[in-house]
């Protein structure tokens, strides 16, 4: 009987692939945001608002992850930006390999690549795809306790967007408690309160993302 030391993370191959993706994104000079939320939290409408606000000043690509279909891709491409669809069939998240498969389809340089992950608060958090940062969306009807119930995502997300704030008069969601709960998982989280429906709060998000894009491009020049 032999005992062999392995000492390797199980997801070592995903991590290696994510690293390769990251250097490819670096070479393309693109800021990559991995957008994660539950189904119906408003990932697609958030992305559409970002596109509307930023497409005048930045070149944007959307990588759209869905289990099936291309409803979201179609509605996003109507805004005049490029979209690449990934259908995962059975997988409940995007991983570095699925992302790597579509990279050869990227023919131009983009300032910003928005990746819409599969609607799920659990699995997508575990898989690095090579992004610059994760952005979580929490919508008000879901409840202000979700960061405590799905701690890993809110711990890893550098940015959390509280969406559907126009519904605050109708739902039992306390923004101050939600902020406190997000900060309990990630004291350094950047938090925005928006409504994709009324566009309230988006100016701040545009400023933040533009600043990140500029910082990224400056970094690459050095």
Instruction: Select the residue interacting with other proteins from 148, 167, 171, 190 (CB under 8 A).
Output: 148
Least separation, in Å, of the C-beta of 70 and other proteins?
23
Q: Both tokens of residue 14?
A: 């995903």
Q: Which lies closer to other proteins via its Cβ, residue 3 or residue 108?
A: 3
CA angle (131, 15, 205) in 5-degree steps:
15
Per the DSSP assignment, residues forming a β-bridge with 129 are none
Number of Cβ within 10 Å of residue 59's Cβ equals 16
Q: Which lies closer to other proteins via its Cβ, residue 14 or residue 77?
A: 14
**Torsions phi, psi of 66, nearest 5?**
-145, 155
Instruction: Select the residue interacting with other proteins from 19, 23, 92, 199 (CB under 8 A).
Output: 92
Q: Both tokens of residue 6?
A: 């392995």
Q: Please report, as residue ranges, which positions from 4 to 43 form the binding site for other proteins (by CB under 8 A).
A: 4-14
In the chain, what's the furthest Cα-to-Cα distance? 66
Q: By CB under 8 A, tell whether 68 contacts other proteins.
A: no
The piece of 59-67, 100-108, 178-186, 206-214 that touches other proteins (CB under 8 A) is: 178-186
Which of 183, 144, 180 is CA-nearest to residue 162?
A: 144
Sequence-separated contacts (24+) of 68-73 with Cβ below 8 Å: 72/44, 72/116
Least separation, in Å, of the C-beta of 170 and other proteins?
29
The Cα 58–Cα 36 span in angstroms is: 22
- Whether 58 and 112 have beta carbons less than 8 Å apart is answered as yes
Q: Which lies closer to other proteins via its Cβ, residue 64 or residue 185?
A: 185
Instruction: Select the residue interacting with other proteins from 17, 48, 58, 93 (CB under 8 A).
Output: 93
Site string for other proteins, 95-134 (x = CB under 8 A): x--------------------------xx-xx--------
Name the 3-class secondary structure at 165: helix
Distances (CA, A) of 85 to 71, 113, 126, 133, 217: 10, 13, 21, 20, 26
Least separation, in Å, of the C-beta of 152 and other proteins?
6
Least separation, in Å, of the C-beta of 173 and other proteins?
20
Residues that bind other proteins (CB under 8 A): 1-14, 91-93, 95, 122-123, 125-126, 148, 151-152, 155, 183-187
């Amino acid at each position: 009987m032999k005992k062999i030391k392995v000492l390797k993370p199980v997801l070592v191959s995903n991590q290696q692939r994510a690293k390769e993706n990251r250097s490819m994104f670096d070479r393309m000079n693109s800021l990559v945001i991995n957008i994660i939320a539950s189904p119906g939290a408003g990932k697609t409408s958030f992305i559409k608002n970002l596109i509307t606000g930023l497409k005048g000043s930045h070149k944007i690509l959307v990588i759209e992850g869905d289990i099936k279909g291309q409803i979201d891709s179609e509605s996003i491409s109507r805004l005049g930006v490029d979209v690449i669809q990934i259908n995962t069939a059975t997988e409940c998240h995007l991983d570095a390999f699925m992302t790597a498969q579509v990279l050869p389809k990227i023919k131009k340089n983009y300032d910003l690549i928005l990746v819409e992950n599969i609607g799920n608060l659990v699995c997508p958090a575990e898989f690095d795809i090579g992004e610059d940062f994760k952005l979580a969306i929490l919508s008000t009807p879901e409840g202000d306790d979700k960061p405590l119930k799905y701690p890993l995502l809110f711990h890893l997300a550098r940015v959390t967007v509280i969406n559907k704030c126009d519904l605050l008069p109708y739902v039992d969601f306390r923004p101050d408690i939600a902020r406190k709960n997000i900060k309990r998982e990630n004291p350094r989280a950047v938090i925005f309160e928006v409504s994709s429906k009324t566009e309230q709060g988006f100016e701040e998000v545009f400023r933040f993302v533009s600043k990140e894009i500029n910082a990224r491009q400056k970094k690459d020049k050095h």
